[in-house]
Amino acid sequence: MNKTELIEQIAKDADLSKAAAGRALEAVIDAVSTTLKKGGTVSLVGFGTFAVGQREARTGRNPRTGAAIKIDKANVPKFRPGKGLKDALN
């Protein structure tokens, strides 16, 4: 499912126009992104938790030349599924 299909599904299930569903989805995505940028977490009970993790600096290899390269540390988004989501899949 891509973003357009998700908007169509939201519009159908919530009895909204596609434009309103698109704005709602964008608002959710923006809220999650803004919170993660600030270092916070977003917990949706029964669905899961979005959080920020840190990847340490490390040495990697250039696959083309085999030369060692330095990879800087980075903040990465993480998602931990909740019990409700896990149960829905099994």
Residues 45 and 5 placed together within one structural domain of the fold: no
CA distance 48 to 59: 32
Residues 46 and 29 placed together within one structural domain of the fold: no
Give me the chain's average pLDDT, please: 95
Tokens of 75: 């903040």
pLDDT, one tens digit per residue, over 25-63 is 999 999 999 999 999 999 999 999 999 999 999 999 999
Residues 90 and 61 placed together within one structural domain of the fold: yes
Residues 29 and 50 placed together within one structural domain of the fold: no
Query: ∠ CA(32), CA(38), CA(40), 5° rounding?
Result: 65
How far does Cα 67 stand from its chain's mean position? 32
**The whole model's pTM is what?**
0.79
Residues 47 and 89 placed together within one structural domain of the fold: yes
pLDDT band for position 75 (50/70/90)?
very high
Mean pLDDT of all residues in 71-81: 96
Residues 65 and 26 placed together within one structural domain of the fold: no
Q: Give the domain extent around 85.
A: 40-90
